[in-house]
């Protein structure tokens, strides 16, 4: 539950900083006592300890996805600033299972109708069964969160170093467990001819295709912005594996407690929130150009 301490009065912002707190009422710190002196592979345990000489092992500290809760709150506020702009994220892939349909062929509202947050009901059932199978083995699996932003005005984004897609990429790559970001035609675009890939104009300035992903020259062109965010498998496994302790000794470890077998369904609102924060920044910057 979010508790606001400042910046909001009678449902409106006051102009002062918005301060809030989210109290964790369901923490189980003792579940992490077994990793006090050992490092989980592919987690931040080792690098945090070496960089700072100290780490909070009770769930990962600042490397824990818990820190993204505050981003979701900020993103919800940013969305209110972006009137008319629709930001919708959904799960389009789990492991090798991929939803091979463009966002234009999907009813994105269906994403909130199932626990996997996939807008295709049949694929959602298959993904859920697969995740349960992975969890039964004590293993984890990654996936892809796709995001579509509609009704974006022309002109958001700044040239050279502050391009809109560059900031979106930075925002997404700052989310825990993210390993990749692509927008528009993405990596597939590199296999196409220019004659195929160019987005021909309509007379009103819109384009017949949208391989550019709604961004050209780092600036929004009014078409839908769409991108994919790749998440790695969760590092903590509920099965035995070898690792090292802080003395460099090989030890055996097994994860305990509550750990997601697949993080992508939980990441959907985080992706939406970060997209909203980036667009809100550029919306405010763009007001300087139009005043």
Give the CA distances from residue 18 to residues 3, 69, 70, 140, 187, in Å, rounded to whole numbers and listed in that order: 11, 15, 12, 37, 39
The H or E element that residue 229 is part of is strand 225-231
Q: Looking at the chain, list the stretches that DSSP marks H as alpha helix, in order from N- to C-terminal side.
A: 45-52, 68-81, 121-136, 164-173, 194-197, 264-290
Whether the Cβ atoms of residue 208 and residue 218 lie closer than 8 Å to each other:
no
pLDDT of residue 28: 67
Distance CA 97, CA 141 (A): 11
pLDDT of residue 40: 85
CB atoms closer than 10 angstroms to residue 18:
15
Token pair for residue 58?
């009770």
Q: Which residues contact 75 (CB under 8 A, 6 or more apart)?
A: 269, 270, 272, 273, 274, 275, 276, 277
End-to-end CA distance of the chain: 38
Token pair for residue 158?
């700044």
Token pair for residue 181?
């970001």
3-state secondary structure of 199: coil
Q: Looking at 88-176, list the stretches that DSSP marks H as alpha helix, in order from N- to C-terminal side.
A: 121-136, 164-173
Tell whether the model's pLDDT for residue 38 goes beyond 90. no
Whether the Cβ atoms of residue 138 and residue 189 lie closer than 8 Å to each other:
no
Q: Identify the structural domains of the chain with CATH numbers, from first to last.
A: 69-289 (3.60.150.10)
What percentage of the chain has pLDDT greater than the value 70?
A: 95
- Section 165-183 average pLDDT: 97
Tell whether the model's pLDDT for residue 29 goes beyond 70. no
Q: Which residues contact 25 (CB under 8 A, 6 or more apart)?
A: none
- How does pLDDT run across 248-273, given as a tens digit for each residue? 999 988 776 667 899 999 999 999 99
pLDDT of residue 58: 76
3-state secondary structure of 259: coil
Per-chain mean pLDDT for the chain: 92
């Amino acid at each position: 539950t979010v508790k606001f301490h400042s910046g909001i009065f009678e449902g409106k912002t006051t102009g002062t900083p918005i301060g809030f707190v989210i109290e964790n009422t369901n923490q189980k710190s003792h579940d992490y006592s077994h990793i006090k002196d050992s490092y989980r592979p592919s987690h931040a345990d080792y690098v945090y300890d070496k960089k700072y000489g100290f780490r909070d092992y009770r769930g990962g500290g600042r490397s824990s996805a818990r820190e993204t809760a505050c981003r979701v709150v900020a993103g919800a506020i940013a969305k209110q600033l972006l009137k008319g702009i629709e930001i919708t994220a959904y799960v389009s892939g789990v492991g090798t299972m991929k939803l091979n349909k463009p966002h234009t062929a999907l009813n994105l509202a269906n994403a909130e109708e199932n626990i996997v947050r996939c807008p295709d009901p049949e694929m959602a059932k298959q993904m859920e069964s697969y995740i349960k199978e992975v969890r039964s083995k004590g293993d984890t699996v990654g996936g892809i969160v796709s995001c579509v932003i509609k009704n974006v005005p022309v002109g958001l984004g700044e040239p050279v170093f502050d391009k809109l897609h560059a900031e979106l990429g930075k925002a997404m790559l700052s989310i825990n467990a993210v390993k990749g970001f692509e927008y528009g035609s993405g990596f597939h675009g590199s296999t196409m001819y220019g004659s195929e890939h160019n987005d021909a104009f309509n007379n009103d300035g819109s384009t017949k295709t949208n391989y550019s992903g709604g961004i050209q020259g780092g600036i929004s062109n009014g078409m839908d912005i769409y991108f994919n965010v790749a998440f790695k498998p969760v590092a903590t496994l509920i099965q035995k594996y070898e690792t090292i302790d802080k003395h460099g000794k090989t030890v055996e470890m097994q994860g305990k407690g509550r750990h997601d077998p697949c993080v992508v369904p939980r990441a959907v609102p985080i992706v939406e929130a970060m997209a909203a924060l980036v667009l809100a920044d550029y919306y405010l910057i763009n007001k300087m150009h139009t005043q």
